[in-house]
C-alpha cells in the first residue's frame, strides 16, 4: 500500500494513498470536528463542519471528502477555519428548534458539544418560529424533526448498512425533511426497527423511548457482549446504570455485524414482559411452592438417581451458552448415560465436511443462493448483508417451499425441487454463496454438493447456539411423549410442552413463566442474556464471549452454573470454574 506524505498544522503525516484529509488527520490524532461524517458510512461533505485550509486551493475544502496528495499542506486551526466552523454552527442552531435544556440528548449531543467548543451561547441569526413535527408512531424510538440537522446519517445507514431503504429526504432546500417511504408515519412504514439510524444520529432527533432521560454516557456502563437472539451472533454493547439495563447498542468493532443489530436483538429483549422465575419451585400437593436451592437440587438429584437412564429425556433450547450445552452433554449423556437428548429447534443439515464460508463472503458474491432459510424474519442481520450485496449488483435466487421474506428481491424464486436451476447459475458465477437453513431437503442437499469447492457454504442455523448443540451431538431427535422423566433446559424460550407425557416427572431450567413451567414438577430459575457470562458459537462456527451486565434477578443462576451445581451434588467432577468449562466446551465443539 503506497503511502502519501503531507503536513497537517506543520506536523508530518503519512497515510495510505486514496485516503481523505480527515482519515489522514485521524491517523495522526489530529482532531477535525465533523457532524455528517460517520466511520461506518460513506462521507458526503454536507455539513461543512470539517472545512480546512489546503494550500493552493482557492476555497476551504471539506476534509472528509478531499483526497490527500503528496506534499499537501493543511491547516485545521487557522482563523478562516475556525470562523467557518462557528458560522456553520450559528446557521445550524438557527435552522430548527434546538432547545438543549429539555432535550434528552443534552450532554451526549455532538451538535451541542461543538456549540460549547466554539462558544455558541446565543442565536445569532433569526430563528424559525415554525414548529417541526415529532413522530412517535414507531414502537421503540421517536423522531423529533426539531432537532434534525439534516446530516442524513440515518438515511445513509438505512440504505448503505441495512439496505432497507425506508428513509429518504423529501423536497429540497430548507424544506428538506427526513421521510419514511411515501412520507408516512414511521410506525406505518417499511421500517424494520433495526435501530441503526437511532445509533448513528448525532443529535436528539432520534431518541430511544425506553432509555430516554435515564442517564448520560458518563453515568452509564457499556458492557461488551454477544447477542443471543439468533445464530448470527452480533456483537453488542449492553448499556446499564446502577444495575439496570437501559438499552442495547451495536458494537461497531464487532467482526460479524460491525455495529448492525435488528429488532430481535436490540429491542425485543428489553420489552419482554413475561413474568420471571426468580426462586426455585417444587410441586407439593399439586401446587408449585417456592423453595431454596438446596431443597430443589436435592429433589432433582434424587430423581436422577431413582429413574433409569433410558426413561429419561433431555430437551434443550439453543438459547444457551456453550458451557451449558457442554455440561448438559457431559452430565446427562456421558456421566448418566441418557441417550434421548434433543433440541427444541431444527438444525440445518451438514452440507460440506468443513464449512468453508463466512457471512463476509456474501458481500463479495455475485450470485447468492438462499436455500431453505428465511433470514428476513429469523436472522434479519443476514438479510441486511444479502440486500447490501444486491445493491452492489449481486443477484439472488431463493429456493424455498415456504414463503420467503426476500422473494421480492430475488431474480428467481424456485421450489426446493427446482434447485438444479439455481445450481446451474451458481456454476457460472465467479463468487457464488450458498446460504442454507433447516428447510433444505435431503435431495436438495445432495444436489448442492455439485457446488462444493466452487461456492462458499454458509449455514443460517435456526435457534441461537445451534452450531454448538449440533457439534456436541445433542440432536438425536427422540419422541418426548415416551419419556417418563424429562429434564428441559428451557432457558428464555417459550414452549407449551405439548408433547410431554401427562404423568411424566418434569424438571425445567427456565427464566420465564410459561405453560411448561406451570406444568413442571421442579423449576430451576435461570439467568437471562444480560445476567450471565459465557460463550456462544455462531452459525459460522465462531466462538464469541457473552458478558454479564447485571446481577441475576432474585435467585436465578446462569445456565451452566445450575448444571455444574447438579453435577457436584451428584459427586460428578465435571467443572466448576467458568474458564475451565469454557475451555473444555470450546474443545468439544471443535468449530470448523
- Residues binding another protein (CB under 8 A): 44-48, 51, 58-60, 62, 65, 67, 83-84, 87-88, 91-92, 94-95, 124-126, 149-150, 159, 165-176, 179-183, 190, 367, 387, 390-393, 395-397, 408-412, 424-425, 428
For residue 38, the minimal CB distance to another protein (Å) is 16
Residue 51 or 567 having the CB closest to another protein: 51
- Tell me if residue 448 falls in helix, strand or coil: helix
What phi and psi values does residue 247 have, to the nearest 5 degrees?
-165, 175
- Cell 438479510 belongs to residue: 383
Residue 51 or 238 having the CB closest to another protein: 51
- Cell 430481535 belongs to residue: 264
Residue 3 or 169 having the CB closest to another protein: 169
For residue 173, the minimal CB distance to another protein (Å) is 4
For residue 377, the minimal CB distance to another protein (Å) is 19
Residue 124 or 417 having the CB closest to another protein: 124
- Per-residue cell: 564: 455444574
For residue 167, the minimal CB distance to another protein (Å) is 6
Residue 58 or 354 having the CB closest to another protein: 58
| Distance (Å, whole) CA 237 – CA 247 | 9
| Distance (Å, whole) CA 287 – CA 303 | 18
- Residue 364: CB atoms within 10 A of its CB come to 13
For residue 405, the minimal CB distance to another protein (Å) is 14
Residue 275 or 393 having the CB closest to another protein: 393
Residue 87 or 478 having the CB closest to another protein: 87
Which residues does 179 contact at the CB level (< 8 Å), separation at least 6? 167, 168, 169, 170
Residue 113 or 169 having the CB closest to another protein: 169
| Distance (Å, whole) CA 349 – CA 338 | 24
For residue 440, the minimal CB distance to another protein (Å) is 21
- Residue 577: CB atoms within 10 A of its CB come to 9
For residue 426, the minimal CB distance to another protein (Å) is 11
Q: By the 8 A CB rule, do 469 and 326 touch?
A: no
For residue 458, the minimal CB distance to another protein (Å) is 20
DSSP state of 20: B
In degrees, rounded to 5, the angle at the alpha carbon of residue 493 between the alpha carbons of residues 347 and 192 is 85
Residue 1 or 408 having the CB closest to another protein: 408
For residue 118, the minimal CB distance to another protein (Å) is 14
In degrees, rounded to 5, the angle at the alpha carbon of residue 18 between the alpha carbons of residues 17 and 22 is 105
Exposed/middle/buried for residue 278 (C-beta within 10 Å: 0-12, 13-18, 19+): middle
Q: For the range 411-417, what are the long-range contacts, defined as Cβ-Cβ under 8 Å and sequence gap of 24 or more? A: 416/371, 416/372, 416/440, 416/441, 416/443, 416/444, 417/443, 417/444
Amino acid at each position: 500500500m503506497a503511502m502519501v506524505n503531507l503536513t497537517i498544522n506543520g506536523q508530518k503525516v503519512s497515510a495510505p494513498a486514496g485516503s481523505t484529509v480527515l482519515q489522514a488527520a485521524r491517523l495522526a490524532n489530529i482532531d477535525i470536528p465533523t457532524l455528517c461524517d460517520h466511520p461506518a458510512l460513506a462521507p458526503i461533505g454536507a455539513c461543512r463542519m470539517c472545512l480546512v485550509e489546503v494550500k493552493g486551493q482557492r476555497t476551504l475544502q471539506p476534509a472528509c471528502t478531499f483526497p490527500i496528495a503528496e506534499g499537501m499542506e493543511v491547516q485545521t486551526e487557522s482563523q478562516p477555519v475556525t470562523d467557518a466552523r462557528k458560522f456553520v454552527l450559528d446557521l445550524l442552531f438557527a435552522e430548527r428548534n434546538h432547545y438543549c435544556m429539555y432535550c434528552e440528548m443534552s450532554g451526549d449531543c455532538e451538535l451541542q458539544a461543538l456549540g460549547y467548543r466554539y462558544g455558541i451561547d446565543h442565536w445569532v441569526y433569526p430563528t424559525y418560529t415554525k414548529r417541526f413535527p415529532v413522530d412517535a408512531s414507531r414502537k421503540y424510538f421517536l423522531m423529533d424533526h426539531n432537532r434534525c440537522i439534516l446530516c442524513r446519517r440515518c438515511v445513509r445507514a438505512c440504505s448503505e448498512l441495512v439496505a432497507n431503504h425506508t428513509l429518504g429526504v423529501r423536497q429540497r432546500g430548507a424544506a428538506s425533511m427526513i421521510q419514511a417511504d411515501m412520507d408516512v408515519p414511521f410506525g406505518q412504514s417499511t421500517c424494520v426497527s433495526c435501530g441503526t439510524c437511532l445509533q448513528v444520529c448525532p443529535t436528539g432527533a432520534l431518541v430511544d423511548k425506553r432509555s430516554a432521560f435515564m442517564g448520560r454516557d458518563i453515568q452509564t456502563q457499556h458492557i461488551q457482549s454477544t447477542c443471543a437472539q439468533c445464530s448470527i451472533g452480533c456483537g453488542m454493547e449492553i448499556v446499564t446504570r446502577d444495575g439496570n439495563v437501559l438499552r442495547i447498542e451495536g458494537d461497531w468493532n464487532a467482526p460479524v455485524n460491525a455495529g448492525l443489530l435488528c429488532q430481535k436483538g436490540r429491542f425485543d429483549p428489553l420489552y419482554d414482559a413475561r413474568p420471571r422465575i426468580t426462586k426455585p419451585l417444587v410441586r407439593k400437593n399439586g401446587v408449585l411452592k417456592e423453595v431454596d436451592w438446596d431443597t430443589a437440587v436435592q429433589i432433582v438429584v434424587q430423581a436422577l438417581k431413582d429413574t433409569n437412564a433410558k426413561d429419561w429425556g433431555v430437551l434443550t433450547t439453543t438459547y444457551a451458552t456453550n458451557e451449558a450445552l457442554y455440561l448438559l452433554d457431559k452430565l446427562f449423556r456421558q456421566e448418566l448415560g441418557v441417550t434421548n437428548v434433543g433440541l427444541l429447534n431444527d438444525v440445518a443439515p451438514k452440507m460440506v465436511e468443513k464449512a468453508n464460508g463466512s457471512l463476509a463472503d456474501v458481500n463479495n458474491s455475485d450470485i447468492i443462493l438462499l436455500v431453505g432459510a428465511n433470514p428476513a424474519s429469523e436472522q434479519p442481520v443476514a438479510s441486511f448483508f444479502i440486500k447490501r450485496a444486491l445493491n452492489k449488483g449481486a443477484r439472488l435466487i431463493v429456493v424455498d417451499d415456504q414463503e420467503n421474506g426476500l422473494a421480492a428481491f430475488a431474480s428467481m424464486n424456485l421450489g426446493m425441487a427446482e434447485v438444479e436451476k439455481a445450481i446451474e447459475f451458481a456454476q457460472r458465477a465467479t463468487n457464488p454463496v450458498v446460504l442454507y437453513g433447516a428447510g433444505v431437503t435431503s435431495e436438495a442437499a445432495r444436489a448442492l454438493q455439485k457446488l462444493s469447492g466452487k461456492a462458499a457454504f454458509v449455514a443460517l442455523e435456526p435457534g441461537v447456539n445451534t452450531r454448538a448443540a449440533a457439534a456436541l451431538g445433542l440432536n438425536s431427535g427422540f419422541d418426548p411423549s415416551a419419556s417418563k422423566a424429562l429434564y428441559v433446559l428451557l432457558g428464555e424460550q417459550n414452549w407449551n410442552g405439548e408433547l410431554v407425557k401427562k404423568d411424566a416427572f418434569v424438571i425445567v431450567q427456565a427464566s420465564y413463566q410459561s405453560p411448561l413451567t406451570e406444568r413442571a414438577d421442579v423449576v430451576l430459575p435461570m439467568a437471562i442474556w444480560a445476567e450471565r457470562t459465557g460463550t456462544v458459537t455462531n452459525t459460522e462456527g465462531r466462538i464469541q464471549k457473552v458478558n454479564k451486565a447485571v446481577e441475576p434477578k432474585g435467585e436465578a443462576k446462569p445456565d451452566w452454573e445450575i448444571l455444574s451445581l447438579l453435577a457436584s451434588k451428584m459427586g460428578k467432577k465435571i467443572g466448576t470454574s467458568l474458564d475451565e468449562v469454557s475451555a473444555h466446551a470450546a474443545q468439544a465443539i471443535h468449530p470448523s
